[in-house]
Amino acid sequence: MDYNPYNNLEKELKNSTLYTVQLVNTPKKFKIIRNWLAGIFLFLFLLLFLPWQQNINGKGKVTPFAPEDRPQNIPSIIGGRIEKWKVVEGQYVKKGDTLVIISEVKEKFFDPQLLQRTQKQIDNKVDGLAAKNRKIVALENQIDAMRSSVNIKMKMAKNKVLQAEFLVKGEKANFEAAKVNEELSRNQYDRLNELYKKGLASLTEIQNRSNKMQEAKSKAIEAENKFNKAENELINSRIDLNFIEAEYVDKISKAESTLEETAGELFESQADLIKLRIEYSNFQLRSGFYAIKAPQNGYVVQVLKAGIGETIKENENIATIVPSNTKTAVEMTVRALDMPLLYKGCKVRVQFDGWPALVFSGWPSASVGTFGGVVQAIDRNADANGNFRVLVVQDQNDVPWPELIRAGGGVYGWAMLSEVPVWYELWRQFNAFPPNFMEEANKSNKAEYDKTKNDK
C-alpha cells in the first residue's frame, strides 16, 4: 500500500485537541446554516406570491340598527313634582308600564274638580248658544211677519190712495158741473132781470129765478168743498202710504240689526265654546301625563332625576331606557381616502371587544374569532375629523354575531376588497398607494351618482 502524506495529515487534524485546529473543521456547520437560510429565504420568496386580500380597516362601536332601537331619554311632557318611583335602574319594563308618578305644580291646575267645572262651563255655554239660536229664529220669524204685514198694509194704503184719486176725480166732475149750473142760473137770472126792467116779467118770476141761482151757487160751493176734501184725503192717503213704508223699514232694520248682533254673539259664543272644549281636552290629556310610562319594551339603565318631591321642568329628561330585542349593527369610521372603495353590500370582517380573536387581515379564512358583516349604509358627509361613518349589519350567510354584545362596545373591522399577491400589497404599502378600485364599488358608486342626477 502506497504511503499518502495527506491522509495522515487529515487524521492528525481530526484527532487534534487544539482550538485553532478545531476551527478549521467549522465549514460543515456553516453548510447547515446556509441550507436553513436558503430554505427560509426560498419560503419567504414563495410567500410573496401567495394571494392577499386587500382590506380597509376602521374602528367603531356597536350600535342598534334602527333609530327606534337606540337608547332614548324619556322626558316629562309637563312640569311637576315627583311623587313616587315605580322602577329601579336595570329593571325590565314593558310598553305602557308606569315609571314614575308626578303631581301638579301650577296653580291653574290645582283644582281637583277642574274637569267637572270646565264641563259645567261647556254645558252652560251650550245652553246659551241654544238660547241665542232660538232668539235668532224668533227674530227671523218677526222680520218675516213684519215684511208680510207691511206688504198687506202697503197694498191697503195704495188701494186707499187709488180710491182717493177716484173720489177726487168724481168730486172734481161734480164741482165742474155745479160751476156750469151756477153760471147757467146766473145767466138766466140776468136775462129775466132785463125783462123785469122792461116790464115783460113779473116780480114773482124774478124772485124764483133768484132763489134758483142761490141754490146753484150753494151747490157749487158744496161741490168745491167736497172736491177740496177729496184732494186732502188723497194727500193724506199718500202721506199714510209713505209713513207705513218708512215705519216698517225702520222696524225691519232694527230687527235685522238685532238679528245680526245676536248672530255675532252666537259666533263669539261658539268660539268660546271651542276654546273651552280645547281646554277641557288639554286638561284631560294633562291628567294622563301625571303617570310617565315606558314608550316601548326595554331596560331602565339610568335615572336622571331621583328623590321624592323633586321638581322637574317641561320636556326635562327623567330616565334613559334601552330597548330590548334590537337588531345590532356596527358603526365604524374609515378615512376619506378609502371611502370611494366601499359600496353597499361590501363584505366586512369584525372583531368585538371582549371576544378573543386571532386575526390575519389578508387571509380572512385563516382568522379565528372574527364575524362576518355587510356594509348597509355610508354617510354622505364627513365628520369633524374628515372620516366617514359606515354602518355594517350582520351577514346572514356567516356565523351569527354573539348575543351578549352590547351597544357602545368597541369594534375593529376590515372591509374586504380585491385579492392581490403579497409582493404587490407590500409594494403598495411601501409606496402609500390606495387599494385597488374594485369593479363592484365602481358600479355601485356610478349607479348612485346616476340616481342622484336623475332626481335633480
Cβ-contact 292, 102 below 8 angstroms: yes
Q: Please state the rounded mean pLDDT for residues 49-71.
A: 78
Q: How many CA atoms lie within 13 A of 226 on its CB side?
A: 19
> Which has more pLDDT, 419 or 333?
333
- pLDDT over 90 percentage in the chain: 0
354's torsion region: left (phi>0), alpha (psi -120 to 50) or beta? Answer: left
Question: What is the average pLDDT value for the chain, to the nearest integer?
Answer: 78
Contact 54, 415 (CB under 8 A): no
- Asked if 227 and 175 count as a contact pair (C-beta separation under 8 A), the reply is yes
Residues in Cβ contact with 31 at an 8 Å cutoff, skipping those fewer than 6 apart: none
pTM of the model: 0.53
Give pLDDT tens digits for 65-104.
877 778 888 888 888 888 888 888 888 999 889 899 888 8
**456 pLDDT exceeds 80?**
no
Choose the weakest-confidence range: 56-70, 221-235, 316-330, 428-442: 428-442
Question: What's the pLDDT at 2?
Answer: 47
Helices (H) and strands (E) in the chain, counts: 7, 14
Please give the share of the chain, as a percent, with pLDDT higher than 70: 80
Average pLDDT over residues 327-346: 82
Residue 63, strand partner residues? 329
Report how far residue 419's alpha carbon sits from residue 343's, in angstroms, rounded to the nearest whole number: 17
For residue 353, give the C-alpha cell.
371587544
Judge contact between 362 and 55, C-beta under 8 A: yes
Residue 438 has pLDDT above 50, yes or no: no
Q: Is the pLDDT of residue 202 over 60?
A: yes
Cell of 136: 235668532
pLDDT tier, 329 (very low <50, low <70, confident <90, very high otherwise): confident
| pLDDT per residue as tens digits for the range 385-423 | 888 888 899 888 888 888 878 878 888 887 776 666 767
pLDDT of 440 over the 80 cut: no
Residue 411 CB neighbours (<10 A): 21
- Whether residue 6 has pLDDT greater than 50: no
Q: What is the mean pLDDT of residues 288-293?
A: 86
pLDDT at 126 over 80: yes
Q: What is the pLDDT of residue 1?
A: 44
Domains and CATH numbers, the chain: 1-47 (no CATH), 51-67+326-455 (2.40.30.170), 71-104+290-323 (2.40.50.100), 114-287 (1.10.287.620)
Terminal-to-terminal C-alpha distance of the chain: 106
Q: What is the pLDDT of residue 44?
A: 76
Half-sphere exposure of 17 (CA within 13 A, CB side): 0
Contact 436, 420 (CB under 8 A): yes
Beta-carbon contacts of residue 371 (< 8 Å; ≥ 6 apart) = 349, 350, 351, 352, 394, 395, 398, 399, 400, 401, 402
Instruction: Report whether pLDDT(20) > 60.
Output: no
Lowest mean pLDDT among 5-14, 54-63, 384-393: 5-14
How would residue 129 be classed by pLDDT, with cut points 50, 70 and 90?
A: confident
**pLDDT at residue 437 greater than cutoff 60:** no
**DSSP states of 164-201:** HHHHHHHHHHHHHHHHHHHHHHHHHHHHHHHHHHTTSS
